[in-house]
Amino acid sequence: MSQPGGVITTLRKAVFGDPPAPQPRMKVVNTTRQTVLASNLEVADTGPTRNKGLLGRTGLNEGEGLWIIPCESVHTIGMKFPIDLVYLDRKLCVRKVRGNVPAWRLSVCFSAHSILELPAGTISTTKTVPGDLVEFLPAEAADQRNECSMNRELP
């Protein structure tokens, strides 16, 4: 005898595919200033996750954020809270920062390869400025790192 829901589960998988695996969380550190920008960073690296971004959320807690890659522009149309934006190039160098961006705004940096969306006030608190270098680490192993990978270039 099959388990309850077995046929439905099989049909659902056949039609919709397997549910996406949960993304590992990251920690991002400003290595120039030795400050943590986010300790619980989500990664938006697929079309659907980049398109959705933070839409539908009511806020970001301290330490949370979203890394959109690749990306050179974002909007806050329909957002319910202000955010800080940190634009990064392929070498993980900060190219531009925008603090406390309210709803219904558009922000662009054509030299960026990715963008960090962070809680409003993070840029000010961490004193992040263009020219700073950042490093991404797995959240669970972030405190156990032995060497810096600042010279790593993204694909």
Alpha carbons 7 and 17: distance in angstroms, whole number: 14
- Tokens 């077995």 belong to residue: 6
pLDDT at position 20: 55
pTM attached to this predicted model: 0.78
pLDDT at position 105: 96
Map out the domains of the chain as residue ranges.
Answer: 18-144
pLDDT at position 72: 96
User: Measuring CA to CA, how many Å separate 128 from each of 7, 23, 117?
Assistant: 53, 26, 13
CA angle 121, 150, 138 (to 5 degrees): 70
pLDDT at position 113: 97
Please state which CATH class domain 18-144 belongs to. Answer: mainly beta
For the chain of 155 residues, list the mean pLDDT of each consecutive stretch of 10.
54 56 82 97 93 91 96 94 98 98 96 97 98 93 46 51
